[in-house]
């Protein structure tokens, strides 16, 4: 397990997404009602930046073509995306948000 601290719990407000560079990858940290989820910041349909899309409940919508992903599982929920986005396990220690980048 390779846990990396990427943010503090107060850095990402509920209903928002922040992006963090980890080992050359852009990870989108999503706050869904106080629970944090980490996904690749890349739409699997065309490579669009998911952090620039809308986060509504647990779904993020790609701003380019409207593909929606469940940030809790990475599953695509609407076309045109058919492949899931990569997810990363998140751990909270105090006010540190840590992501397991080994998966």
pLDDT tens for 53-68 read 999 999 999 998 999 9
Q: How many separate domains does the chain show?
A: 1
Residue count of the chain: 103
pLDDT tens for 22-65 read 988 999 999 999 999 999 999 999 889 999 999 999 999 999 89
Instruction: Show the domain range for 39.
Output: 3-100
């Amino acid at each position: 397990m390779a846990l990396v601290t990427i943010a503090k719990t107060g850095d990402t407000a509920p209903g928002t997404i922040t992006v963090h560079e980890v080992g050359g990858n852009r990870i989108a940290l999503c706050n869904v009602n106080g629970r944090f989820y980490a996904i690749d910041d890349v739409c699997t349909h065309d490579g669009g930046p998911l952090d620039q899309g809308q986060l509504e409940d647990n779904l993020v919508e790609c701003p380019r073509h409207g593909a929606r992903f469940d940030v809790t599982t990475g599953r695509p929920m609407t076309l045109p995306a058919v492949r899931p986005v990569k997810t990363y396990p998140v751990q909270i220690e105090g006010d540190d948000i840590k992501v397991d980048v080994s998966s």
